[in-house]
């Protein structure tokens, strides 16, 4: 028995999840209310996977996690998928999306690193963001220039490694593209992308992903 990190109610993990051992920090009801969906997408020929549609519950939760600094929400996003993701991405090293250091200090943690700690894969902080730019505030064209604000960390090598680029959200894909380009330039053997949330695109309709 444990308490769910979202609804604070007492629960026990579903039996199938208990098979893989370990504790899960959220109850099955809350997990399903986030509408998990494991689907793939392609970005510049790189295979990507996302775990949730970016719907209102996910948005609210992410706001609580990132903007309010509720670090306890870090492990909830991947808790149920972790066993299978560890299998899929066996042998990969994680490269978290860069975030502006000063912001992490204010928040008290790096939200991407914290979120993907749930996976038992090594993390390499290979890329740095050198300016405080927020993609959510920018238009499509401006987003594509994110590469100018990124820098490779000296002394880090990913040569001949399988790397998995991870981020919380992938909207226009600009950050992911720019980072994957950097990884490829530094000799990564194979690159894949894993993101937590992806917008639900309706046909002929542009989704506005303004921050809450």
Residues 178 and 150: beta-carbon distance below 8 Å: yes
With binding defined as CB under 8 A, does residue 108 bind another protein?
A: yes
Of the pair 72, 131, the CB lying nearest another protein is at 72
Taking the complex as a whole, the smallest distance from the CB of residue 72 to another protein amounts, in Å, to 4
Distance from C-alpha of 140 to C-alpha of 136, rounded to nearest angstrom: 10
Q: Single out the segment in contact with another protein by CB under 8 A; choices: 31-39, 64-72, 96-104, 152-160.
A: 64-72
As separate numbers, helices (DSSP H) first and strands (DSSP E) second, the chain gives 8, 9
Q: How far is the CB of 3 from another protein (least distance, A)?
A: 4
Residue whose pair of structure tokens reads 């099955």 in the numeric block: 28
β-pairing verdict for 150-152 and 127-129: antiparallel
Which residue, 66 or 177, has its beta carbon nearer to another protein? 66
Residues near 180 by beta carbon (within 8 Å), at least 6 away in sequence: 43, 44, 46, 165, 191, 193
Under the binding rule (CB under 8 A), the answer on residue 11 touching another protein is: no
Does 72 sit near another protein (CB under 8 A)?
A: yes
Contact flag: residue 23 with another protein (CB under 8 A)? no
Which residues between 158 and 177 bind another protein (CB under 8 A)?
A: none
* Least distance in angstroms from the C-beta of 117 to another protein: 14
For 169, phi and psi rounded to 5 degrees?
A: -130, 150
Q: Which C-beta is closer to another protein: that of 44 or that of 72?
A: 72
Distance in Å, CB of 151 to another protein, minimum: 26
Please, which residues have CB within 8 angstroms of residue 208's CB and are 6 or more apart in sequence?
none
Under rule CB under 8 A, how many of the chain's residues touch another protein? Answer: 11
| Whether the Cβ atoms of residue 122 and residue 93 lie closer than 8 Å to each other | yes
CA-based angle 98:117:45, to the nearest 5? 55
Q: Does the protein bind another protein through residue 200 (CB under 8 A)?
A: no
* Nearer residue to another protein within complex by CB, 100 or 109: 109
Whole-angstrom Cα distance, residue 105 to residue 167? 18
Does 3 participate in binding another protein (rule CB under 8 A)?
A: yes
Binding site for another protein (CB under 8 A): 3, 8, 64, 67-72, 108-109
């Amino acid at each position: 028995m444990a308490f769910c990190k979202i609804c604070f109610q007492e629960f026990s993990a579903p039996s199938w999840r208990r098979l893989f051992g370990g504790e899960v920090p959220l109850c099955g009801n809350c997990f399903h209310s986030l509408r998990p969906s494991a689907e793939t997408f392609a970005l510049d020929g790189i295979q990507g996977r996302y775990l949730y549609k970016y719907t209102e519950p996910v948005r609210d939760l992410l706001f609580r996690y990132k903007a309010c600094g509720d670090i306890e929400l870090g492990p909830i996003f991947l808790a149920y998928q972790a066993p299978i993701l560890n299998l899929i991405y066996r042998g990969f090293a994680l490269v978290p999306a860069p975030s502006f250091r000063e912001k992490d200090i204010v928040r008290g943690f790096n939200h991407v690193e914290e979120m993907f700690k749930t996976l038992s894969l090594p993390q390499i902080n290979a890329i740095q963001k050198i300016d405080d730019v927020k993609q959510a505030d920018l238009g499509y064209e401006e987003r594509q220039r994110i590469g100018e604000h990124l820098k490779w960390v000296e002394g880090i090598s990913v040569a001949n490694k399988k790397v998995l680029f991870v981020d919380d959200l992938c909207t226009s894909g600009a950050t992911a593209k720019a980072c994957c380009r950097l990884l490829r330039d530094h000799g990564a053997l194979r690159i894949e992308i894993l993101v937590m949330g992806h917008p639900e695109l309706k046909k002929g309709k542009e989704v506005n992903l303004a921050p809450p």
